Amino acid sequence: MLPIQQSYPQLIEQLSNHPLCLLQAPPGAGKSTWLPLQLLRDGHFQRIIMLEPRRLAARNIAQFLASQKNERLGQSVGLRLRQETKVSAETRLEIVTEGVLTRMLQSDPELSDVDLVIFDEFHERSLAADTALAFALESQLLRDDLKILIMSATLDGERYQQFIDCPMVTAEGRSYPIEEVYEPLAQSERWLEAMAPLVKRALSEQEGSVLVFLPGQREINRVGEQLTDLAANIEVHKLYGELDKQAQQEAIAPAPKGKRKVVLTTNVAETSLTIDGIRVVVDSGKRRAAEFNLKTGVTELKTVNISRSSATQRAGRAGRLQPGVVYRLGAKEQLERRASHDAPEMLTSDISPLLLEAKLWGASLDELQLLDPPTQAQQQQAQVLLQMLEVLEGDKLSPQAKAMHAMGTELRFAHLLYKAEKFERQWPGFLQLAVHFVALMEARISTASELSTALNAQLHRPHPAFRRQLRYWQQRLKLAQCQSLPMSLLPLVVALAYPDRLAKRRGQGMLMSNGAGVQASAEHWLDEDYLAIAEVGGQGGQRIFSATAFCPQQLQEHLPHLFSEQEVCEFNDKTAQFTNETRFKLGAITLRSQPSSQAISSQMKCQAWLGLLQKQGWALFKHPQSQQLRTRLVLAGQLLGAPFTYSDEQSLLAAAPQWLAPYLSEVQSLAQLQQLDYRPALLSLLDYSAQQQLDQQLPSKLVVPSGSTHSIQYQLDGPAKLSVRMQEVYGLTESPKLAQGKLPILMELLSPAQRPLQLTQDLAQFWQGSYREVQKEMKGRYPKHFWPDDPANAQATTRVKSRM
């Protein structure tokens, strides 16, 4: 019996009585493969949509469920992916990927003929899944009969329950036991070299096939090259998202009789995917994580350690069909110190897709139920990008926003294709050029750095992935095949997709139109002053991978919305003077400037001070009480959440033009700015209730047992500190904690002469231990002061013994 079967009656009861339920069940419990069909068989629901976070898992689950009913896919069990739909009038269970569900909700907010939405493997916390859940929760306001089921093996259940206020059903036990084997590393940075030997060890010590988790395609190829000397009965397969369908199916299929398989995979196999014959997992403990760089506007792929919940998911692949073994690279103690769950995409990615979806939904982000709301800095960056892509006009949707959204592709490419159709009359072949560029970008293949060279290469010797994407777009837009492209228009194509990555040479590097600096290549574009960049990333998101040169006049003629003329007032901290210029700009790039004829107003000075703050950051200010209040506010955001959600340092800095500007109008000099008491400005961000909560949970001062009040010194990267004479805290049996017990206080206990005697976060242990040594020394040095034998139960005082 599957674990889910034991919990099934309880789950049905909770779904019958509540609009939403959480299901936590181990890998192999039958959440994805047994439960949906059983819900239909028992007549509890008439039509179910189940969201799978990954295309590979969605396709294989759909095919498996259809086979369970002896049907072809598209009958009662359907599949809906981007560029692939297999559904019919008789479909009752539809497996979809995340973006698809969001579009279904946008087109029919009531989900009229659906009575259950299942979010599978929700622990992955993708941006699209969080968006779809927020919309589905709003759909329940329109329909009281719509049910939502959130499932995972590793849910952060208690937190989700607090957020959504719903019951949780737990299926205990794993289908089969899993033994854990740890392989400590002498040098952690050389982990990849240890993977192939560990795979060979697992093969020699265990029976059955082996699933090997690696962070990406590069590492898969590297380890694959080192496994060419295996026994003749062992086949090595690769499995990752960009692999063609046939190769994916060969990796998933059972090993031929008498043979064993080694499947080298990314975390696409971490979730709802059963690979027949696997009873051994070899886990590198690494994954590739997309991390959005707010400064450069680039999403960087980084290799990071997996969380404990991901380690559990991966190990579970070994116990799906029989008892299994997991070999983990690294010591057990290292795994136990890792984060419990991976950071949600909502806090690490570009949220412009979410902002657009919310606008189309008719809601602000503040109105949506988001488990981890994005920061103000993320929202501001997304707003600027959507304006550059002509989706927003100010804060409102543009007339073409819906048409671009309907294209069902990345927003940058949607903007390009929408505009290319308009430009086609003016420049025949422009739409074909745009489609070829989109196919090149979506294929994610290694190409020449110069985009025109890369496109010409694909015209003559197309890569299969490029050919697939090109065919899709040509059929979608009803275009014939072509033999040549108008390459002179390529800069316009890149600018329409990446208006924030237009760059001008600056010293040894280049400045992009979004204000970020990138490195000038030592191999390409040596004589070019202006580049339209398509791909950028690498260390710090500053390496140019592909680009083409452009002429500003050509862009200005055809894309005037990217250019502006601005009156700019700045404060030069080196000369201690204001400069006032009229600048013609391409985003953050100044193309030309001239002295302004306008006098510098107080408002212009205010903008100059704000510009200096954005340049220097919080180190500009020297007022200690203001710094302490800002630190308390940031800590409140980290430790308490709402209503302090948007109070991280980056967001406060990004929003300074709104909250700080009114307090800068009278500032006349740099020295005056540095000593500005901006506490009233910070407090203006909080209503009375939030100010009271801040003072209660993170007070600026603390009353000690002596009755005196002492200031607390807060810091962002350590405990809060309270400096107080030792006599004033007698009778205090434990160190105080703040922010609902989440922030310990470091007690700096002072002598009568205000000199440090002890630093401790465990006052009770200090009283019982090293206090004796302090007492012995201090009695001789300060005999008039009180040094009791039992300080934990003594009377606190500010006086000498004779006046107590």
Closest alpha carbon to 185 in 46, 386, 331, 361:
331
CA atoms within 13 A on the CB side of 323: 5
Distances (CA, A) of 147 to 10, 14, 89, 113: 15, 11, 22, 12
Q: Which two tokens stand for residue 573?
A: 């901290």
Closest alpha carbon to 39 in 85, 79, 76:
76
Give the pLDDT score at 174. Answer: 57
Give the pLDDT score at 291. Answer: 81
| pLDDT tier at 273, thresholds 50, 70, 90 | low
Give the pLDDT score at 347. Answer: 86
Give the pLDDT score at 578. Answer: 84
pLDDT at 67 > cutoff 90: yes
Give the pLDDT score at 467. Answer: 93
Q: Annotate 471-527 with DSSP letters as a single string.
A: HHHHHHTT----S---GGGHHHHHHHH-GGGEEEEETTEEEETTS-EEEPPSSS-TT
pTM over 0.85: no
Closest alpha carbon to 132 in 154, 151, 109:
109
Residue 138, classed as helix, strand or coil, is helix
Residues in Cβ contact with 13 at an 8 Å cutoff, skipping those fewer than 6 apart: none
pLDDT at 666 > cutoff 90: no
Query: 366-402: string of b/e by CB count within 10 Å (b at 16+)?
Result: eebebbbbbbbbbbbbbbbbbbbbbbbeeeebbeebe
Q: Which residue has the tokens 């400005």?
A: 681
Number of Cβ atoms within 10 Å of the Cβ of 592: 9
Give 3-170's CATH code, choosing from 1.10.3720.10, 3.40.50.2300, 3.40.50.300, 3.30.750.210: 3.40.50.300
Long-range contacts of 710-716 (CB under 8 A, 24+ apart): 712/738, 712/745, 713/628, 714/628, 714/631, 714/632, 714/635, 715/631, 716/631, 716/634, 716/635, 716/649
CA distance 764 to 772: 13
Answer for the pair 368, 338: CB distance below 8 angstroms, yes or no. no
Angle, in degrees to the nearest 10, between helices 411-423 and 430-443: 160
**Taken in order 794, 797, 802, 804, is the CA torsion positive or negative?**
negative
pLDDT digits (tens, 9 = 90+) for 537-546: 877 778 899 9
Distances (CA, A) of 344 to 68, 349, 371, 383, 703: 34, 9, 9, 21, 39
Q: Which two tokens stand for residue 737?
A: 């904690």
pLDDT at 274 > cutoff 80: no
Write out the H or E segment, with its range, that includes residue 371: none
Closest alpha carbon to 552 in 581, 497, 591:
591
| pLDDT tier at 272, thresholds 50, 70, 90 | low
Q: Which residue has the tokens 């975390």?
A: 267
| Arithmetic mean of pLDDT, 163-185 | 83
Tell me the pLDDT of the chain averaged across its residues: 89
pLDDT digits (tens, 9 = 90+) for 573-592: 788 888 888 889 999 999 99
Percent above pLDDT 70 for the chain:
98
Write out the H or E segment, with its range, that includes residue 263: strand 260-265
Residue 413, classed as helix, strand or coil, is helix
> Helix, strand, coil proportions of the chain in percent (round to 5)?
40, 20, 35
The residue type of 682 is: L
Higher pLDDT, 526 or 629: 629
Distance of CA 749 to the CA centre of its chain: 42
Q: Which two tokens stand for residue 153?
A: 């093996």
| pLDDT tier at 433, thresholds 50, 70, 90 | very high
Percent above pLDDT 90 for the chain:
57
pLDDT digits (tens, 9 = 90+) for 500-512: 999 999 988 999 9
Backbone angles phi, psi at 92, to 5 degrees: -115, -25
Domain definitions of the chain by residue range = 3-170, 178-343, 352-494, 618-696, 699-803
Give the pLDDT score at 57. Answer: 83
pLDDT digits (tens, 9 = 90+) for 716-726: 888 899 999 99
pLDDT at 633 > cutoff 60: yes
Total residues found in the chain within this entry? 804
| Arithmetic mean of pLDDT, 551-567 | 91
The pairing of beta strand 234-239 with beta strand 260-265: parallel
CA distance 544 to 510: 10
What are the DSSP E strand ranges found in 177-232?
A: 178-183, 209-213
Higher pLDDT, 126 or 573: 126
CA distance 642 to 648: 12
Q: DSSP code of 92?
A: -
| pLDDT tier at 29, thresholds 50, 70, 90 | confident
Q: Do domains 3-170 and 178-343 have the same CATH topology?
A: yes
CA atoms within 13 A on the CB side of 190: 7
| Arithmetic mean of pLDDT, 653-675 | 89
Higher pLDDT, 109 or 319: 109
Backbone angles phi, psi at 20, to 5 degrees: -145, 145
CA distance 348 to 345: 5
Residue 56, classed as helix, strand or coil, is helix
pLDDT digits (tens, 9 = 90+) for 448-490: 899 999 999 999 999 998 999 999 999 999 999 888 899 999 9
Region of residue 548 (phi > 0: left; psi between -120 and 50: alpha; otherwise: beta): beta
| pLDDT tier at 40, thresholds 50, 70, 90 | very high
pLDDT at 155 > cutoff 70: no
Closest alpha carbon to 550 in 535, 533, 567, 530:
530
Q: Which fold has domain 178-343?
A: Rossmann fold (3.40.50)
Answer for the pair 495, 420: CB distance below 8 angstroms, yes or no. no
